[in-house]
Amino acid sequence: MIRLKLALELDYEVFDPGCDFIFNIHAAHTDRQRVVGEELTLSQKVPSTLETDPATRNRYLRLSALPGPLRVAYSATVDLTHHFAQPDQIAEVPVAQLPAQALSYIYPSRYCQSDRLLKLAMREFGRQWHGYARVQGIRDWVLRRTTFLQNTSNATTSAIDTLIDTVGVCRDFAHLMIALCRAINIPARFTTGIDYGADPALGPTDFHAYVEAYLGDRWYMFDPSGTAIPMGFVRLGTGRDAADVAFATIFGPVSSQAPRITIEAIPGADGRLVMPYHCAEALSTD
Amino acid sequence: MIRLKLALELDYEVFDPGCDFIFNIHAAHTDRQRVVGEELTLSQKVPSTLETDPATRNRYLRLSALPGPLRVAYSATVDLTHHFAQPDQIAEVPVAQLPAQALSYIYPSRYCQSDRLLKLAMREFGRQWHGYARVQGIRDWVLRRTTFLQNTSNATTSAIDTLIDTVGVCRDFAHLMIALCRAINIPARFTTGIDYGADPALGPTDFHAYVEAYLGDRWYMFDPSGTAIPMGFVRLGTGRDAADVAFATIFGPVSSQAPRITIEAIPGADGRLVMPYHCAEALSTD
Amino acid sequence: MIRLKLALELDYEVFDPGCDFIFNIHAAHTDRQRVVGEELTLSQKVPSTLETDPATRNRYLRLSALPGPLRVAYSATVDLTHHFAQPDQIAEVPVAQLPAQALSYIYPSRYCQSDRLLKLAMREFGRQWHGYARVQGIRDWVLRRTTFLQNTSNATTSAIDTLIDTVGVCRDFAHLMIALCRAINIPARFTTGIDYGADPALGPTDFHAYVEAYLGDRWYMFDPSGTAIPMGFVRLGTGRDAADVAFATIFGPVSSQAPRITIEAIPGADGRLVMPYHCAEALSTD
Amino acid sequence: MIRLKLALELDYEVFDPGCDFIFNIHAAHTDRQRVVGEELTLSQKVPSTLETDPATRNRYLRLSALPGPLRVAYSATVDLTHHFAQPDQIAEVPVAQLPAQALSYIYPSRYCQSDRLLKLAMREFGRQWHGYARVQGIRDWVLRRTTFLQNTSNATTSAIDTLIDTVGVCRDFAHLMIALCRAINIPARFTTGIDYGADPALGPTDFHAYVEAYLGDRWYMFDPSGTAIPMGFVRLGTGRDAADVAFATIFGPVSSQAPRITIEAIPGADGRLVMPYHCAEALSTD
């Protein structure tokens, strides 16, 4: 068990006539990710609602902010009890046996146009041994031929753009990996969290996007941009792609500052401090 | 109440080594669409499963076909009890008040890249009176500047393609209308059915795609291609766009023939025959 | 006759191991644009060549710069003797009668994908009276539905992007207008100059891109972004689109500053000062 | 010296009100491609003009056809005196030393969006030894990752589409190879001819598209689709990409049949029959 303490602050200047927000910044509750404590503070005294989407377990905070400054501060203590598995023991699931809730993750989505990549994916990965290793092979392929570079992509950049441009940030690596998985009928989804363990040279701690692929009997985590330590990932949202799980969706005129985020491993209920590390096993918190 | 009888036959030649299918050809059960009888016949004696997605109520038939011919025949008798409303009484819903289950339908999807159309939609529709009429205005705009023409689009054609090409089939009209609605934060989804009432000059009775937009307190139907009579629409599937609700998703080598479909209004339980007609009221079966 | 004096300075910092440049900053010589004096100064003592492309009359300056600062300063005095014509006297030219040198300007190019816009252009402009007024109609259509906004486009933005995004700068307006002209078989080309007469609120004097369309027996000027005064345009380069006539094409590592440009009308050889003005006549300097 | 005899017949049905055509079906005259005899027959008695573009040496036949059938028959006897060179003796030309007439072939064009492929090309080919072998490497890369398949592309398919789709016909292979060459500043152009030596299994003798790259002091031929024998290529047209050198550009309502084409090596003036063959040397007819 790993206990992580995360804290994030988002600052906005809301302009006239105010602005609606949908935030997805709360840690998800799953069987293996337990939120043992959390706190939300809003600088404006406006009503807010917090709902959990039953299908994804994403937790959405909604509020209508007034003109003026808005600060949203969230902190949480989260216990992760990872499922560990040996990669060579994890098989792919034939389409006919996929659980219904995984099915929609084999279809193309806004930023993961898998329907355009069927032949390319078959050519590159069609003859590889089926199983976890094939997905890991896709992850490595994406990482190898894409350069991590800030400010090379934007909100409309898709998997196909990244394939052509060969640069991007974590979001873009994730989209390309997802599109390639789906192109060979492996369910893959876009998951958001914090970039635990990322090299400070890449900038301050930030939101992160990674991939979960459905293999064997569950969703396993992959970090195609290779910038962080998956064992330290606290899941915030999961969806088809970035269209579903922006940390903030904003409906009105605002200016915003860079988020300020911290995350660290702390001693668990038993007083032991366990640090996330790069491991060879397959990992799942779902 | 309108009672419709529909029947459809799908014929495939499955090649070695067989093929998995996911069909979405069953009429959905909703509060206002009641399936009073239905029958499914498969020409192959293979196991099949029928599941209902709780979020969309789509009913998915899955099976693994053996090499050789496969015929799937489905027929149903469906009672529609439409919700009728006066267009000028139906308001748009502010984002802050949208129900959670409608929220995901304001995000862009594979074939409805609303994120690319924010400025265009605002320019064309931003100053129009908000409400049902604005959505009807989008529907009319799409219909006016798009020509219905077979064989001008394919499985990768998106809303942006249709905007540029100004031609397409029902699927393309629906994608463009959906993308424009979402671009101004109106939830819109892609719905499939049968093209009841379509001009025989367009070809034999076929599957149809249309749009549902969330307005007031429910999903209202729109037929952007203008080819059919919405009051005769039996809903099969609904989703983000065509990626979610293909009538058949096929994982393996097959050849297929054109579907053979019939649909007609028949007398209801009370012996009265009510025929669908073009009406000025807003319609919902959700 | 209008005499213009223009001066421009380009500053670069060239990094190791040096850098090749191709500049297209010299005023073109045409029958109606006479360069009465010009001067080029390079801050580095490196050889340079100046060539004139016989097909376009573009003048290309080439040099290989050494690491370190590079300043390129060019000034010229140019006499324009415009051809004026009444718009209603100017006909379109049937394809069969187009001169060979105009033909290539009806084909699609990198940023002007006219082949994608045939139906849209026919729908919007197909039934309009053929002649100068139709081209002016295209120019007005582009201007009306596109907003001039800095930093909304980049070097890969094409006519189709601009059609969808409905924003751009002079280059983007020109590309969209050209693509629409070609889509209805009117030769149109991309021309560069200085934005004489532009509102200082749009920023300092800058390079400009506008359109020339072949009508009657010559190339007429159009300013689809509507930001400048065409009668004050000194032609630097002309080509298929921006791919052909960048003011600087750079092959190596450099950083650059914004160009510093001035242009003003000055008294001509006869001592008279004639100022460019917005006029209703069609204008050509070709 | 190789003597080739080619004959082609194009059949159209022209509808009311007639149709303008621009054909580029005449063999080009170059220093190493000599047309020793040719004949053109038109089934309609309409005036036609034949012009040679001075920049490309393309020969354009223009005519305005009347409603009714139109047959265009062209035959020619052509002597090719190839320039042969050893691949390892052929260097790339630094941009600063490229002749002016080759320069425009390093810029992106409609179907060869080299500006999108700079990083990908640098990643794949940037560290390879510069020279003919690098261009041959690009040609091999394109051939290896693209499958020749009829009816997988259309008139709007571009190099980027082919990169993603990994299928296409000769035109598509050529576009992708050209885009990659230009992305690393090697001038490359699209050339049309007849697919001499193609496997009859691919269909009847047809028009062909291949690539010429400027290396050393001339344009060398490459056949990225690998379907034909370059030594048997008679050059018809050359240009930026397929937009420039369609064998027929048609401005009006027609239906057309597949062209009927023959080409064969015949004895030369000295009575000797020399057959084109696959050779290891670099070849040029420019």
Strands A19-23 and A59-65: antiparallel
Residue A197 near residue A118, CB atoms below 8 Å: no
D108 CB neighbours in chain C (<8 A) are 110, 243
Closest partner CB to D110 (pick from C53, C62, C109): C109
Question: Are the beta carbons of A244 and B107 separated by less than 8 Å?
Answer: yes
- Give residue A6's pLDDT: 98
Q: Measured between CA atoms, how close is B277 to chain A, in angstroms?
A: 35
Question: Are the beta carbons of C123 and B116 separated by less than 8 Å?
Answer: no
**Percent of chain C's residues with pLDDT above 90:** 96
Residue B264 near residue B4, CB atoms below 8 Å: yes
What interhelical angle do A170-183 and A132-144 show, nearest 10?
140
Task: Find the residue in B nearest to A62 (Cα).
Answer: B96
Interface contacts C/D by beta carbons within 8 Å: 71
Which of A24, A48, A110 is the best substitution to test chain B (most B C-beta atoms within 10 A)? A110
Question: Are the beta carbons of C20 and D94 separated by less than 8 Å?
Answer: yes
pLDDT (average), residues C60-65 = 95
Q: What is the CA radius of gyration of chain C?
A: 19
Chains contacting B (3 or more CB pairs within 8 Å): A, C
B164 CB neighbours in chain C (<8 A) are 116-117, 120, 160, 163-164
Question: Are the beta carbons of B95 and A20 separated by less than 8 Å?
Answer: yes
Closest partner CB to D243 (pick from C108, C185, C243): C108
Chains contacting C (3 or more CB pairs within 8 Å): B, D
Q: Measured between CA atoms, how close is A156 to chain D, in angstroms?
A: 16
Q: Measured between CA atoms, how close is B139 to chain C, in angstroms?
A: 18
Query: pLDDT band at residue D100, thresholds of 50, 70 and 90?
Result: confident
Q: Measured between CA atoms, how close is C106 to chain D, in angstroms?
A: 10
Chains contacting A (3 or more CB pairs within 8 Å): B, D
Residue B224 near residue B211, CB atoms below 8 Å: yes
Q: Measured between CA atoms, how close is D165 to chain C, in angstroms?
A: 19
CA–CA distance, B221 with B244 (Å, rounded to integer): 18
Q: Given 3-state DSSP classes, what are the helix, strand and coil percentages for chain B, each rounded to the nearest 5?
A: 20, 35, 40
D109 CB neighbours in chain C (<8 A) are 109-110, 240, 243
Closest partner CB to A116 (pick from D116, D120, D164): D164
Structure tokens at B187: 């939830």
- Give residue B275's pLDDT: 97
At C61 the three-state DSSP class reads strand
CA–CA distance, A162 with A192 (Å, rounded to integer): 19
Phi, psi of A95 (to 5 degrees): -50, -40
CA–CA distance, A241 with C131 (Å, rounded to integer): 49
Q: pLDDT by residue (tens digit) across C138-175?
A: 999 999 999 999 999 999 999 999 999 999 999 999 99
Question: Are the beta carbons of C109 and D113 separated by less than 8 Å?
Answer: no
Q: 């192959």: which residue's tokens?
A: B44
- Give residue C178's pLDDT: 98
Nearest C-alpha neighbor of B174 from the set B190, B155, B160: B190
Q: Measured between CA atoms, how close is A185 to chain B, in angstroms?
A: 8
- Give residue D202's pLDDT: 86
- Give residue C100's pLDDT: 87
Which residue type, as a one-letter code, is found at position C34?
R
Nearest C-alpha neighbor of A198 from the set A127, A261, A104, A134: A261
Q: Measured between CA atoms, how close is B157 to chain C, in angstroms?
A: 13
Question: Are the beta carbons of D107 and C51 separated by less than 8 Å?
Answer: no
Question: Are the beta carbons of A156 and B240 separated by less than 8 Å?
Answer: no
B123 CB neighbours in chain C (<8 A) are 145, 166
**Percent of chain C's residues with pLDDT above 70:** 100
Closest partner CB to B119 (pick from C119, C123, C165): C165
Query: pLDDT band at residue C202, thresholds of 50, 70 and 90?
Result: confident
**Percent of chain D's residues with pLDDT above 70:** 100
Chain A residues in contact with chain D using a Cβ-Cβ cutoff of 8 Å? 116-117, 119-120, 123, 145, 147, 160, 163-167
Question: Are the beta carbons of A164 and D165 separated by less than 8 Å?
Answer: no
- Give residue B180's pLDDT: 98
A62 CB neighbours in chain B (<8 A) are 96
Chain D residues in contact with chain A using a Cβ-Cβ cutoff of 8 Å? 116-117, 119-120, 123, 145, 147, 160, 163-167
Closest partner CB to D109 (pick from C22, C55, C109): C109
D123 CB neighbours in chain A (<8 A) are 145, 166
Q: Following DSSP, what letter does each residue of A82-143 receive, concatenated?
A: -EEE-GGG-----GGGS-HHHHGGGS-BTTB-GGG-HHHHHHHHTTSPSSHHHHHHHHHHHH
Name C90's Cβ contacts closer than 8 Å, sequence gap at least 6: C131, C132, C215, C216, C220, C282
Q: Measured between CA atoms, how close is D146 to chain A, in angstroms?
A: 9
Task: Find the residue in A nearest to B249 (Cα).
Answer: A107
Length of chain B in terms of residues written? 286
ipTM: 0.94
Chains contacting D (3 or more CB pairs within 8 Å): A, C
Question: Are the beta carbons of C119 and B160 separated by less than 8 Å?
Answer: no
- Give residue B96's pLDDT: 84
- The count of C-alpha atoms lying within 13 angstroms of the C-alpha of C261, restricted to the half-sphere facing its C-beta, is 22
Counting as low any pLDDT under 50, the low residues of chain A are: none
Q: pLDDT by residue (tens digit) across B191-235?
A: 999 999 999 988 999 999 999 999 999 999 999 999 999 999 999
CA–CA distance, B265 with B4 (Å, rounded to integer): 4
Closest partner CB to C160 (pick from B120, B164, B167): B164
- Give residue D70's pLDDT: 98
- pTM score above 0.90: yes
- Give residue D66's pLDDT: 97
- Which has more confidence, D265 or A103? D265
Closest partner CB to D95 (pick from C20, C95, C113): C20
D117 CB neighbours in chain A (<8 A) are 164
Q: Measured between CA atoms, how close is A205 to chain B, in angstroms?
A: 27
Task: Find the residue in C nearest to B163 (Cα).
Answer: C164
Q: pLDDT by residue (tens digit) across B70-124?
A: 999 999 999 999 999 999 999 999 988 899 889 999 999 999 999 999 999 999 9
Which of D61, D109, D161 is the best substitution to test chain C (most C C-beta atoms within 10 A)? D109
